């Protein structure tokens, strides 16, 4: 569902297509730039979720390697993030944003903007 911060005319407004469920079949995750967002989509415990793929450290790709032991490891500096929470395991202040998703048939949509505040 859309955020409470924005009132949309349609329930699906503000959601942007970011990929297909079938793209998860191969290894259970993929990443992709959509507009100015780099989004990491993955299936875990049967649930499809999406985190920001941009490491808050220097901007490396969190989903470069396949998820292992419940952790994503950023390629550049090996910072690891818990796949359940998006929390960095080494630097407490680093946490990946989670995107709200909407699944329709084979299509995956994400809400890129949830707040009108600057």
Partner 1 sequence: MTELYSKFSEEVAFPRGLIIWNYFDHEHVVGTHFEHYHQIRILAEENNWCFSQRSASLPFIPIKMWATQFSYLKSDKWMRSFHFGPFGLLLEQDFHFEDLQAQACRVTVESRVKVPRILLCLQPFFHKLMRHWFYSVWAEDTEMRERRLKVWQLGFRDFVGLNYVNNKTAGPDLPDAERPYPIELPIPKITEITRGGVSRPFRRSRKLGYGLPEVPE
Q: Which residues bind to partner 1, rule: CB under 8 A?
A: 3, 17-20, 23, 27, 29-38, 52-61, 63-66, 68, 73-79, 90-91, 93, 97, 112-118
Q: Smallest distance, Å, CB 54 to partner 1?
A: 6
Compare residues 8 and 33 and give the one whose CB is closer to partner 1. Answer: 33
From residue 24, how far is each of 2, 44, 67, 100 by CA, in Å? Answer: 24, 11, 12, 17
Q: Smallest distance, Å, CB 45 to partner 1?
A: 20
Residue at token pair 């992709």: 32
Task: Return phi, psi of residue 43, to 5°.
Answer: -110, 125
Compare residues 74 and 83 and give the one whose CB is closer to partner 1. Answer: 74
Give 84: exposed, middle or buried? Use CB within 10 Å, 0-12, 13-18, 19+.
Answer: exposed
Q: Smallest distance, Å, CB 88 to partner 1?
A: 10
């Amino acid at each position: 569902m859309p955020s409470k911060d924005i009132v949309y005319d349609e329930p699906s407004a503000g959601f942007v297509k970011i990929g297909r469920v079938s793209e998860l079949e191969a290894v259970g995750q993929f990443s992709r730039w959509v507009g100015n967002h780099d989004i990491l989509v993955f299936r875990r415990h049967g649930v499809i979720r999406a985190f920001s793929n941009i490491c808050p450290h220097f901007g490396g790709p969190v989903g470069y390697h396949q998820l292992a032991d419940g952790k994503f490891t950023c390629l550049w500096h090996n910072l690891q993030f818990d796949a359940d929470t998006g929390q960095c395991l080494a630097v407490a202040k680093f946490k990946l944003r989670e995107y709200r998703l909407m699944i329709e048939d084979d299509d995956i949509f994400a809400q890129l903007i949830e707040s009108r505040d600057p």
